[in-house]
């Protein structure tokens, strides 16, 4: 018994109705007014008899649009990327678009491959949350001639709408919260800064905040390499010693993202310290486990759903003909205070 029933084609409908494929196409594209009532009725009957349903992709392409949005993310295992994807997907769905995803897996140099692969599916535009390094994205997009929106990370030389957390304001909020709580010897811990605009912006904002409060506080920036647990522990111990030399001063860390937060948490456990005691802490991103570590980790929660929605809306506005210079949407974060940054007695 053959369980595979062949799907009816537009050619089958045309043959059953005794008309051309072009005539069937006119009917399916709601141009039946161009047909005589008799021919329209025959095509309608053939469609119903054969159970024919046109391919949405084929219909869209015939009108010059696929109704597909290409979304490229640096790392789909990163909760930030997943949350942004959800927001973008919801906004696209509301506007009648579907999202096609390409995960770079944090592999440098795959941006061109990703853009070319999605372009092969005739996507109408791109939302890019990529690694932010090199010229691969800029070069690849220059050959496509399609609109794109950058999320979280900028690309030098690429003029496109940009959506992100307001990094400067978020860092300032976190720093001032720590300073108000009596934490006056601070360390900003980030993944390596080179080539990643978000990390550089946050580190620069931290340095600016420390300069503005130079009379009361001191701060340094430490770049944490993956796998260098000993280096991070040494940096935390040096931070603690600096605080001890200033009588009555407490030491705290501001972590640049959730990846760094986990590294700091491992280092604190290895040193036998407790958050909120030997070390104060605020970290960027608010993963579900932040409230479960020690007394709870204070965080800056990013409006990831709104970032995704805003990026999608920006792109769809461009697809609908909006012109003008690149726009920048910087959204506020939310400080979630927990025990790790509790004020001293």
Q: What is the CATH number of the domain that holds 266?
A: 3.40.50.2300
Give the model's pLDDT for residue 58: 59
Whether residue 195 is found in the same domain as residue 287: yes
Q: Do 60 and 319 form a contact (C-beta atoms < 8 A)?
A: no
Count: domains in the chain:
3
Q: Do 282 and 178 form a contact (C-beta atoms < 8 A)?
A: yes
Report yes or no on 5 lying in a domain.
no
Report yes or no on 226 lying in a domain.
yes
Give the model's pLDDT for residue 61: 54
Beta strands (DSSP E) in the chain are 68-73, 98-103, 125-129, 148-151, 161-165, 183-190, 218-223, 250-255, 280-284, 298-301, 328-331, 334-336
pLDDT digit of tens for each residue in the chain (345 aa)? 444 557 788 888 888 989 888 888 788 766 556 688 888 888 888 888 888 876 655 555 555 577 899 999 988 888 889 999 999 999 999 999 999 999 998 887 788 889 889 988 889 999 999 876 666 677 667 667 889 999 999 888 888 999 999 999 999 999 999 999 999 999 999 999 988 899 999 999 999 999 999 998 999 999 999 999 999 999 999 999 999 998 889 999 999 999 999 999 999 999 999 999 999 999 999 999 999 999 999 999 999 999 999 999 999 999 999 999 999 999 999 999 999 998 764
Whether residue 297 is found in the same domain as residue 172: yes
Whether residue 129 is found in the same domain as residue 172: no
Give the model's pLDDT for residue 7: 78
Whether residue 316 is found in the same domain as residue 280: no
Whether residue 251 is found in the same domain as residue 192: yes
Task: Give the three-state DSSP class for 45.
Answer: helix
Beta bridge partner(s), residue 163:
151, 329
Whether residue 74 is found in the same domain as residue 45: no
Whether residue 187 is found in the same domain as residue 157: no
Beta bridge partner(s), residue 218:
185
Whether residue 22 is found in the same domain as residue 140: no
Give the model's pLDDT for residue 1: 42
Report yes or no on 60 lying in a domain.
no
Q: What is the pTM of this model?
A: 0.81
Whether residue 181 is found in the same domain as residue 271: yes
Whether residue 154 is found in the same domain as residue 174: no
Report yes or no on 62 lying in a domain.
no
Whether residue 77 is found in the same domain as residue 176: no
Residue 296 tokens, joined:
């709870």
Q: DSSP readout, 176-236?
A: HHHHHTTEEEEEEEES--TT-HHHHHHHHHHHHHHHHTTTT-EEEEEEPPTT-HHHHHHHH
Give the model's pLDDT for residue 345: 46
Backbone angles phi, psi at 182, to 5 degrees: 90, 5
Structural domain harbouring 37: 10-54
Report yes or no on 1 lying in a domain.
no
């Amino acid at each position: 018994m053959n369980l595979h029933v062949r799907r009816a084609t537009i050619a089958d409908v045309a043959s059953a109705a005794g008309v051309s494929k072009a005539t069937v196409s006119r009917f399916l594209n709601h141009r039946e007014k161009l047909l005589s009532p008799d021919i329209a009725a025959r095509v309608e009957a053939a469609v119903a008899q054969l159970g024919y349903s046109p391919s949405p992709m084929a219909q869209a392409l015939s009108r010059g649009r696929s109704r597909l949005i290409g979304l490229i993310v640096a790392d789909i295992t990163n909760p930030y990327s997943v949350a942004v994807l959800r927001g973008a997907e919801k906004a696209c769905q509301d506007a009648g678009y579907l999202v096609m995803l390409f995960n770079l897996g944090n592999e440098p140099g795959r941006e061109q491959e990703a853009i070319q692969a999605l372009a092969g599916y005739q996507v109408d535009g791109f939302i890019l949350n990529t690694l932010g390094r090199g010229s691969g994205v800029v070069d690849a997009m220059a050959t496509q001639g399609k609109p794109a929106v950058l999320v979280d990370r900028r690309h030098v030389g690429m003029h496109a709408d940009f959506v992100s957390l307001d990094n400067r304001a978020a860092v300032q909020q976190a720093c001032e919260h720590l300073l108000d709580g009596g934490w006056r010897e601070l360390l900003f811990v980030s993944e390596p800064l080179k080539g990643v605009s978000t990390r550089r912006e946050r580190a620069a904002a931290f340095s600016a905040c420390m300069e503005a409060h130079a009379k009361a506080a001191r701060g340094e920036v430490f770049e944490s390499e993956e796998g260098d647990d000993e280096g991070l522990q040494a940096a935390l111990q040096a931070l603690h010693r600096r605080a001890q030399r200033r009588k009555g001063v407490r030491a705290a860390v501001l972590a640049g993202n959730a990846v760094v937060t986990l590294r700091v948490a491992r280092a604190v456990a290895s040193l036998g310290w407790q958050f909120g005691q030997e070390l104060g802490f605020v970290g960027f991103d608010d993963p579900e486990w932040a409230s479960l570590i020690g007394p709870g980790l204070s965080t800056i929660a990013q409006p990831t759903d709104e970032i995704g929605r805003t990026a999608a809306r920006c792109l769809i506005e461009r697809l609908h003909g909006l012109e003008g210079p690149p726009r920048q949407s910087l959204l506020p974060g939310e400080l979630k205070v927990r025990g790790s940054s509790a004020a001293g007695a």
